[in-house]
Amino acid sequence: MKGRLLTTLLISMATVISQGQDADILKYVNPFIGTDKMGHTYPGATVPFGMVQLSPDTDTIPYEVNGAYNRDVYKYCAGYQYADRTIVGFSHTHFSGTGHSDLGDILLMPATGPLQLNPGTADAPEKGYRSRFSHSNENASPGYYSVLLEDHDIFAELTATARTGVHRYTFNKGGDSHVILDMVHGIYNDAGKNVWTFIRVENDTLVTGYRQTSGWARTRSIHFAIAFSKPFTSYGFRDDSPARVYRGFWRRFDQRTNFPEAAGRNIRGYFDFHTEPGEQIIVRVAISPVSSAGAMANMIAEAPRADFETVRFSAEASWRKELGKVKVSMVNEGQMTSFYTSLYHTFLSPTVYTDDDGSYRGLDQNIHLAGGFTNYTTFSLWDTYRALHPLFTIIQQRRTADMINSMLAHYDQSVHHMLPVWSHHANENWCMTGYHSVPVIADAIIKKIEGFNYDRALNSCITTARNGWYDGLDDYMKLGYVPDDRTGSSVSVTLEYAYDDWCISQIAGTEDLKREFAERSRNYMNVWDPATGFMRPRKRNGSFREAFDVLSTHGQGFIEGNAWNYSLYVPHDPAELIRLHGGKKRFTEHLDSLFTMYLPDSFFADTEDITREGIIGNYVHGNEPSHHVPYLYNHAGAPRKTQYWVRHIMDQKYLPAPDGLSGNDDCGQMSAWYIFSALGFYPVAPGSDRYDLGSPLVKEAEIFLENGKTFTVTAVNQGPENIFVRKAELNGTRLDRLWITHDEIMQGGQLVFHMGR
Amino acid sequence: MKGRLLTTLLISMATVISQGQDADILKYVNPFIGTDKMGHTYPGATVPFGMVQLSPDTDTIPYEVNGAYNRDVYKYCAGYQYADRTIVGFSHTHFSGTGHSDLGDILLMPATGPLQLNPGTADAPEKGYRSRFSHSNENASPGYYSVLLEDHDIFAELTATARTGVHRYTFNKGGDSHVILDMVHGIYNDAGKNVWTFIRVENDTLVTGYRQTSGWARTRSIHFAIAFSKPFTSYGFRDDSPARVYRGFWRRFDQRTNFPEAAGRNIRGYFDFHTEPGEQIIVRVAISPVSSAGAMANMIAEAPRADFETVRFSAEASWRKELGKVKVSMVNEGQMTSFYTSLYHTFLSPTVYTDDDGSYRGLDQNIHLAGGFTNYTTFSLWDTYRALHPLFTIIQQRRTADMINSMLAHYDQSVHHMLPVWSHHANENWCMTGYHSVPVIADAIIKKIEGFNYDRALNSCITTARNGWYDGLDDYMKLGYVPDDRTGSSVSVTLEYAYDDWCISQIAGTEDLKREFAERSRNYMNVWDPATGFMRPRKRNGSFREAFDVLSTHGQGFIEGNAWNYSLYVPHDPAELIRLHGGKKRFTEHLDSLFTMYLPDSFFADTEDITREGIIGNYVHGNEPSHHVPYLYNHAGAPRKTQYWVRHIMDQKYLPAPDGLSGNDDCGQMSAWYIFSALGFYPVAPGSDRYDLGSPLVKEAEIFLENGKTFTVTAVNQGPENIFVRKAELNGTRLDRLWITHDEIMQGGQLVFHMGR
C-alpha cells in the first residue's frame, strides 16, 4: 500500500507540474471571502456543483428564542461566521450565500477525552463536544479545508467528491477518542425541525441512515453512508426528546450502547476509538437524495477507499479545470483573488441532485431516473437568472442544458404545474417572486444552447405564466397589474411578471403567443405613476395608493428594495423606461440621484441586511433588483457613468477579505455580476442575445469555450485610474455600439478595450 | 357502459353458476366472528393475504388518557368493536387478531350536510363526521362489506384487490356531499404517532401521498393513490397541530382550500361533491410500501376502472379458490360457519408486501426488488409457528416458500443478523420471545417444501440462534438457561429456545451442528424443578428462585402464561417431559388437574385478557403456549382424553358468533388450531413430520393439495356425542399409532376415523 501511495503522489505531482501555471489558479481562491457578516458563504470543501458541501459550522442556532424568531438564524445561513471562535463540527450540506437557512446535515465532530454528547456553547465550549479554534490554524482552498481543534488537539481536514465528504482527523495526542454523529444539528437547530432520523450500524466501520426535516424545505430527506478507516470499539445513541413510541418489547434491549439501529426525532450518537498519538482516522460520508443504498453506491463509485490525498487531488483537479475556463491577468493580486473567488462562488450551485446511477427524488417525493441528464437542485432563481445563468450560457453550456432539463423535470412533477421558483432538494420553497425559470430557459433558447427540448420548455413557460392561482397572476392577467389590495409586493411582482413575459414573447412559436406575451410584457407601464416618477402600488379600482414612501423598503409594494431601486426594473425595455422618465437627460439625472443621494439614518435602522457601507447613495448592490441599473446609463447615452459606477462597485463592494461581500452572495449571483463586469460586459436583459459593455477590470482575459474556441478580452492601458473606455474593438473593428452579442462571443475572437481617464 | 356492465354481470353469474356448489362456501364465512370483545378480528373487505384490509373503524382511541396508558387501546387492535354504535370511517390496513395495535391507515368517510373535519365522539356522533350505524343494516362476507351510515343516509360498500381498496358510496338523499380523508386517524390515535404525512391533489379525481408513523412499528410508511369516479368540486386540508415550519413565502397562499399539496404531521382533508339522490361515487385507494408512484401502478394493474362489481366478483372468486382447498361437511351449519370462518381467518395474514412490480421496502428502509418471490410481512411468529405455518405446509405450499424467502430477505437486511421475530411492514417490532422463524423454516425443510435455498435458510437459523446479544441468549449459551436475574420471562424464553434449537438440530447438515443444537434442545431440563414439578425461574448462581407462585401470570418467569401452562412447553420431547413428571400416570393426573382445577377469583382480577369463560380449569386456550397441551395426553397413553378435550375446546371456544373466539385470533393461529383439530390431527412439534391424531369434528373433508392429489378425512358415525375415536384407518389399513406423517397426507389418500361414545 505504501508503494501505491507513493506512486499516486508522484503521478499527482507530475500532473501538477505538467499543468504548469494553471495550477496557480487555486491560490487565488479564498473560500473565506464572504464568511464574515453578510456574505453567507461557507469555507468548507466541495467540488464544482457538488452535492456535498462539507464545511465547519461555528454555532448552533435555535429558530426561536423566548418564543420569538431568532434574528441570528439569518447570520448563520451557511453555518459559519468568521468572527466565531468555536467549531461545533463538520456537516455535509450548505447553501452558498442564501438569505434563508436550511441544511447542515449529518454533523460529525472528532473529540478526545470524556464523552460529551451535547454541542456546548460558544461561551463554554468545554461543556460540550465543540472546540475552540483559531484562524491562524485554519486553511481553506478549493476542495480542501483544515483546522486545528484546540480543545481536542485534533487536526481536522476535509475534502470531497461530488457526493462524498472525506474527513481526515489526526489525533495529535491520542488516547480515548470519539467521533460524534449529531443528527439534531442543522442550520438552524430546532427541536421541531427534525421529522425523523434513522441510523444503522452495519458493522464496526460502516453506518447508514437518513435525516428527514421540515424547515425551509417542508418535506426533505437526506440519506447517508459513513465509512470509518478504523473499526470503532463501541458506540451509542441518545434521543434527548424521544418521540412517543409503542416501546413494547424494545424494553428488553439497552438501546443506548452498541445497539445497531436507532430511530427517532433527535438523535445524537458517538463512536469510540483508542488512538495512538498522531494517528489518523479517515471518515468518508456519502449522501444521496434517494436512499442509504444510493449513498453507499455513491461512495463506492467515487471514493472506494479511505484515501484522502487521492480525493483531494481529484477535487483540486476538478476546480483547476472549471476555474481554468477563464484565464485572467489583473492589476494586482487582490483583484486576482476577487476574480477567482467570485468564479469559485459561481460554480457552487445549483448542485447535483442525482445519485451516481442517475436516480433522484422528485418533487412528488417519488424516485425518478434522470434520462440523459444530470438532475440539479438549489435553484435560487429570483437571484440567479440575472447574471449567474447567463454566465453559464457562456462557460457552462452543457450544465445549462442539464439545469434546464432539471427545471423541466421539476415542472413535470409539480402538482402546481409550475417551473421552479426556488428548487430546494425535491421541494419548492416558493422563495421570492416571479417565475424566473422563464428567463433562464428563454436565454438558453435565444443563445442556442443545445440539449433540451425547446417546445417542451416553451410549453412549460407558458403554462407557468398562466397559473392564475399563483401570487396574483389571475389579477395580473385580468387587470394588467397585480393590485396593491392583493399582495404587499404588488409592484415588484408586476414588474417581474412583465419582464418574464417579455422573455416568453422572445421564444414564442406563434404570432398569437408572441402577441399575448408581448402585450403582457408592457404591463410595467400600468404601475408607472407619472406624477411621482416612480412605479407605485395601484389598487384594484385603478387608482394609485395614496400613502407612498419612495425610500421605505417596507409595505410600499416592493420586496427587497424600495421604489427608487425597483422602479428601474424594466430590463427588457430601457428605451421606454427612459421615455417615461422624460428622456435621456432626466433619466440620467434620476440615476445620478440614486447613486449619490444621502439617506437618513432612519432608513438603516428600519432595513434588515442593509448598512450604510453596503450601499452607494440609495443604490443597493447587496440586493439583486438593481444589478442591471449601472448599465442603464448606457441606454441614456451616458456610458461613462456606467463605466464609472461598475468600476466603483467592483472596487468597493468586492474586497478580497472575509467581510468583502456587501450582501449575501445569493448562490453565486453577486459573484456572477462581478465576473461579467470584470470582463467588461453584462447581460442587462437575459432572454436577449446582447451583453452591455461596461468597464473591464481585467488586463487580459481568455475565455475557453466548450466549442473549442477562445474569446479574449484585452484592456489596453488598464489601471486603477483608467476606468473609462476610450474605444472598443471587436476582432480589430471598432465598435460603434455599446454591446456585443452572444454569437460574437461564441465565435471566439478578441474584444479590446482602450482604457483611459 | 351500461352494456359492458350487463355483460360483466352476466359473465359473473354464469361463472357462479358453473362453479355450482362451491359458490356456497362464502356463505359459511362470517367475518363478524371475533369482532366482539377479545377476538380482535375485523369485518371489512380483503382478499387472501391481501396488502389492503379495508374495514370500518368504530372509534378513535387515544394511546394515553390523563397521561396513563389507555387500556382501550387493546380492545381496538383491529379498529372495530361489535358493541359500538358508530363508525368513524373506513381505513385500509388492519391486523387480524393481534394483541398490540397499529395500522388503520388512510381513513375515508363519506358524509353529507355541513362539513365537519373532526371525527366526533361515540356519545355525540353528530358533532363530527362519524355516523351511527346498526348491525341490521350491516353485511360482511369474504371480499365485501356494507353498512348504512345513518347520520348521512349513505350506503357504503367496500371491496378490495390485493393492493387496492374499492369503496362505493350511495348518497341516498344527495345534496352537499363530502369524502373525508383523515390522515391523523390510526389504530390507535395519538398526536405523537404520526411522523409525517404528505398529500398531493394531482387533479380533480386523483390524490396521492403517504403517511409515516412511529408506533408499534417504529419507522413505518405507507404510500397511497386515491381515485374518485366523479370529479370533486373543491377540497381542503387542515393541520390541527402543525409542525413548526419555516413558512416563508408559503404565507402568500391560502393552503386551506384548493391548494394541491399538503404536508405536516396531523392533516385532515375533505373533497366536496354535489350528488343527486341515489348517486354513487366509487373511490379506489391503492397502497404501496414503496411510493405513491408504486401505489398508482398497483391501482392501474389491479383496478384500472371504477368498477366495483368486477373487483368484488374477483375478490369473491379468489376467496372461493382459497377456501375451496378444503371441502368439508359437518354436523350442523354452525360448525360449517366456524370451520370456514376459521379457514378465512388463517388466510388473512401474513400479508403481501411487494408492489405489483415486485419492489418493496426492506428492513433497512431501502427499496428492494423481490427476485422470484412475493415478499410478505405481518409475521406474528410466536403465535403462528405453532399451527398456522404448519397448515400452510399442507394447503399453501407455494406461499410457504414465498414466506420463507421473505424471512430470509428480512434476515439479509437485518442489521441484527436475525430472522424475523415479528415482521411488521419493513420493521422488526420484537414482539414476544424466542426465534420462531426457525421452526417455520425447519418444518418446511423437513416437509420438503420447494422454492427456497435450504443452505441459506439453515445458515440464517444458526446465526440467529447464536446472537448472544438477543434476550439472554449469551447466558443461555453459557449457562444452559436464561437466568431469572436477567429477564422477567426467563423460563418461557429458555423453553422456547430449547424447542427452536431442536428444530435446528433436525435440519443441521453436519454432525457438529446436530450435536450442538441437540444439546441445546435439552436445556429445558435446566429449569425443571423436581421439587415442585414445574418449570421454575433459576438464578444465575444455579439456585431456583425462592418466591414462586405457580398460578400467577405476573413476574414468575413466564410471559402470557403461568407455570401450570408454560411448564408443559416441551413439544419436541414429550416422553422426557413425562419422565420428569414421574411417568405417564402422574403426568396424566397433572394434565387432568390443569383442565379441571378451580381458580380463585383473584386470578382473573389480576390477569388481562383472561376471563373465567375464556379458560377451562387453568388451561388457557386464548394464549398460545398451551395449544399443544390437549394432544399431550396421547403421549401419556390417554388418547381418549386428548379426544375429549379437543372436542370440548372446539365446541366451547369457537362459536359462530361475533363473541365466539375465546382470545385474540393472533393472525390466524387460533383459527389454524381449529382447522387442524377439526380435521382430526395437529402438529404438536413443527419441525417434525408428524401430526398427532385427535378427534375430528368434520364428517367428511377433502383437502385438495397443490400436487394435484386429494387427502380425505372421514369420520364414520360422527355426531355431537360420538367424540371418541374407536379406530382410525389410513388408506384402508388400521393405524396402530396416534399420528400420521406429512408424507402420508401429501401422497393423497383416505384417513377414516370410526367415532363412538
User: Using one digit for the tens of pLDDT, what is the confidence trace for B157-174?
Assistant: 999 999 999 999 999 999
Q: Nearest residue on chain A to B259, judged by CA atoms?
A: A416
Residues in chain B: 757
Task: Please return the burial class of B331, using the count of CB atoms within 10 Å of its CB with bins 0-12, 13-18 and 19+.
Answer: middle
Give me the total of CB pairs closer than 8 Å, taking one residue from chain A and one from chain B: 129
pLDDT on residue B610? 74
Q: Which range has the worst mean pLDDT, A84-98, A512-526, B36-50, B230-244?
A: B230-244
> From CA A573, how far away is CA A505, in angstroms rounded?
13
Contact A42, A658 (CB under 8 A): no
> From CA B596, how far away is CA B588, in angstroms rounded?
12
Q: How far separated are the first and last CA of chain B, in Å rounded? A: 62
CATH class of B326-344+377-756: alpha beta
The pLDDT of A253-267, averaged and rounded, is 95
Say if the Cβ atoms of B214 and A243 lie within 8 Å.
yes
pLDDT on residue B272? 98
User: Using one digit for the tens of pLDDT, what is the confidence trace for A196-216?
Assistant: 999 999 999 999 999 999 999
Q: Nearest residue on chain B to A190, judged by CA atoms?
A: B244
Q: Which three cell numbers stand for residue A574?
A: 430601457
> From CA B657, how far away is CA B118, in angstroms rounded?
33
> From CA A112, how far away is CA A150, in angstroms rounded?
11
pLDDT on residue A15? 42
Contacting residues of B for A258, CB less than 8 Å apart: 469
Residue B757 to residues B588, B648, B722, Cα–Cα distance (Å) = 21, 14, 5
Closest CA to A294 of A356, A226, A351: A356
Nearest Cα of chain B lies from the Cα of A492 at a distance, in angstroms, of 14
Report percent pLDDT > 90 for chain B. 89
Mean pLDDT in chain B? 94
- Is residue A655 pLDDT above 50, yes or no? yes
pLDDT on residue B605? 79
Contacts of B308 (CB under 8 A, 6+ apart): B157, B159, B166, B168, B282
Closest CA to B198 of B243, B245, B261: B261
Tell whether B367 lies on the interface with A, counting CB pairs under 8 A: yes
Contacting residues of A for B266, CB less than 8 Å apart: none
Question: What confidence category does residue A580 fall into, taking pLDDT thresholds of 50, 70 and 90?
Answer: very high
- Is residue A365 pLDDT above 80, yes or no? yes
Nearest Cα of chain A lies from the Cα of B721 at a distance, in angstroms, of 45
Nearest Cα of chain B lies from the Cα of A548 at a distance, in angstroms, of 22
Q: DSSP letters along A257-270, please?
A: BS-SEEEESSEEEE
- Is residue A22 pLDDT above 50, yes or no? no
Mean pLDDT in chain A? 94
The pLDDT of A501-509, averaged and rounded, is 97
Nearest Cα of chain A lies from the Cα of B300 at a distance, in angstroms, of 17
Question: What confidence category does residue A6 fall into, taking pLDDT thresholds of 50, 70 and 90?
Answer: very low
Q: Which of B208, B249, B364 sits opposite A431 (nearest CB)?
A: B249
Nearest Cα of chain A lies from the Cα of B227 at a distance, in angstroms, of 16
Contacting residues of A for B248, CB less than 8 Å apart: 100, 216, 429-431
Q: Which of B192, B252, B293 sits opposite A243 (nearest CB)?
A: B192
Q: Nearest residue on chain B to A243, judged by CA atoms?
A: B192
pLDDT on residue A607? 72
Among all chains, which residue has been given the C-alpha cell 371418541? B724
Contacting residues of A for B261, CB less than 8 Å apart: 415-416
Question: What confidence category does residue B602 fall into, taking pLDDT thresholds of 50, 70 and 90?
Answer: confident
Q: Nearest residue on chain A to B99, judged by CA atoms?
A: A248
Contact B367, B413 (CB under 8 A): no
> From CA B31, how far away is CA B658, in angstroms rounded?
8
> From CA B78, how far away is CA A628, in angstroms rounded?
65
Tell whether B712 lies on the interface with A, counting CB pairs under 8 A: no
Closest CA to A634 of A626, A624, A645, A625: A645
Closest CA to B355 of B289, B303, B413: B289
Say if the Cβ atoms of B196 and A219 lie within 8 Å.
yes
Tell whether B70 lies on the interface with A, counting CB pairs under 8 A: no
User: Using one digit for the tens of pLDDT, what is the confidence trace for A413-451?
Assistant: 999 999 999 999 999 999 999 999 999 999 999 999 999
Query: Domain ranges in chain A?
Result: 2-323, 326-344+377-756
The pLDDT of A745-757, averaged and rounded, is 98
Nearest Cα of chain B lies from the Cα of A176 at a distance, in angstroms, of 25
- Is residue B19 pLDDT above 80, yes or no? no
pLDDT on residue A245? 63
* Domain A2-323 shares a fold with domain A326-344+377-756: no
Question: What confidence category does residue A78 fall into, taking pLDDT thresholds of 50, 70 and 90?
Answer: very high
Say if the Cβ atoms of A100 and B253 lie within 8 Å.
no
Instruction: Write b or e for each residue in A375-411: b if 16 or more Cβ atoms lie within 10 A of its Cβ, otherwise e.
Output: bbbbbbbbbbbbbbbbbbbbbbbebbbbbbbbbbbbb
Q: How far separated are the first and last CA of chain A, in Å rounded? A: 62
User: Using one digit for the tens of pLDDT, what is the confidence trace for B500-525?
Assistant: 999 999 999 999 999 999 999 999 99
Tell whether B355 lies on the interface with A, counting CB pairs under 8 A: no
Q: Which of A102, A260, A264 sits opposite B415 (nearest CB)?
A: A260
Contacting residues of B for A221, CB less than 8 Å apart: none
- Is residue A636 pLDDT above 90, yes or no? yes
- Is residue B20 pLDDT above 50, yes or no? no
Closest CA to A650 of A610, A623, A624, A679: A679
Q: Which three cell numbers stand for residue B8?
A: 360483466
> From CA B748, how far away is CA B703, in angstroms rounded?
9
Contact A442, A504 (CB under 8 A): yes
> From CA A564, how far away is CA B188, in angstroms rounded?
59
Contacting residues of A for B366, CB less than 8 Å apart: 291-293
pLDDT on residue B356? 98
Tell whether A62 lies on the interface with B, counting CB pairs under 8 A: no
Question: Interhelix angle for A397-413 vs A388-395, to 10°?
Answer: 130
Pick the residue of A95, A194, A241, A249 with the most B CBs within 10 A to test the interface with B by mutation: A249
Say if the Cβ atoms of A431 and B214 lie within 8 Å.
no
Contacting residues of A for B247, CB less than 8 Å apart: none
Q: Which of B264, B292, B365 sits opposite A364 (nearest CB)?
A: B292
Tell whether A212 lies on the interface with B, counting CB pairs under 8 A: yes
CATH class of A2-323: mainly beta
Contacting residues of B for A212, CB less than 8 Å apart: 195-196
The pLDDT of A147-166, averaged and rounded, is 98
Tell whether B353 lies on the interface with A, counting CB pairs under 8 A: no
> From CA A693, how far away is CA A752, in angstroms rounded?
11
Q: Which three cell numbers stand for residue A113?
A: 477525552
Task: Please return the burial class of B176, using the count of CB atoms within 10 Å of its CB with bins 0-12, 13-18 and 19+.
Answer: middle
Q: Which range has the worst mean pLDDT, A187-191, A307-311, A698-702, B219-223?
A: A187-191
The pLDDT of B432-460, averaged and rounded, is 98
pLDDT on residue A243? 63
| Residues facing residue B178 across a β-bridge | B111, B272
> From CA A189, how far away is CA A215, in angstroms rounded?
10
Q: Nearest residue on chain A to B469, judged by CA atoms?
A: A253
User: Using one digit for the tens of pLDDT, what is the confidence trace for B252-270?
Assistant: 899 999 999 999 999 999 9
Instruction: Write b or e for each residue in B564-585: b if 16 or more Cβ atoms lie within 10 A of its Cβ, otherwise e.
Output: bbbbbbbbbbbeebbebbeebe
Task: For strands A749-756 and A710-716, give the pairing.
Answer: parallel
> From CA A543, how far away is CA A217, in angstroms rounded?
38
Pick the residue of A245, A367, A412 with the most B CBs within 10 A to test the interface with B by mutation: A245
> From CA A523, how far away is CA A481, in angstroms rounded?
6
Give the angle A30-A381-A746 at the CA atoms, nearest 5°. Answer: 75
Say if the Cβ atoms of B63 and A244 lie within 8 Å.
yes
Contacts of A134 (CB under 8 A, 6+ apart): A85, A148, A150
Tell whether B556 lies on the interface with A, counting CB pairs under 8 A: no
The pLDDT of A365-384, averaged and rounded, is 97
User: Using one digit for the tens of pLDDT, what is the confidence trace for B717-757?
Assistant: 999 999 999 999 999 999 999 999 999 999 999 999 999 99
pTM assigned to the model? 0.96
pLDDT on residue A592? 98
Q: Which three cell numbers stand for residue A216?
A: 425551509
> From CA B340, how far away is CA B413, in angstroms rounded?
37
pLDDT on residue A324? 97
Report percent pLDDT > 70 for chain B. 96
Tell whether B249 lies on the interface with A, counting CB pairs under 8 A: yes
- Is residue A9 pLDDT above 70, yes or no? no
- Is residue A406 pLDDT above 70, yes or no? yes
Tell whether B239 lies on the interface with A, counting CB pairs under 8 A: no
Q: Which of B100, B367, B415 sits opposite A261 (nearest CB)?
A: B415
Among all chains, which residue has been given the C-alpha cell 491562524? A136
pLDDT on residue B8? 45
Nearest Cα of chain B lies from the Cα of A197 at a distance, in angstroms, of 9
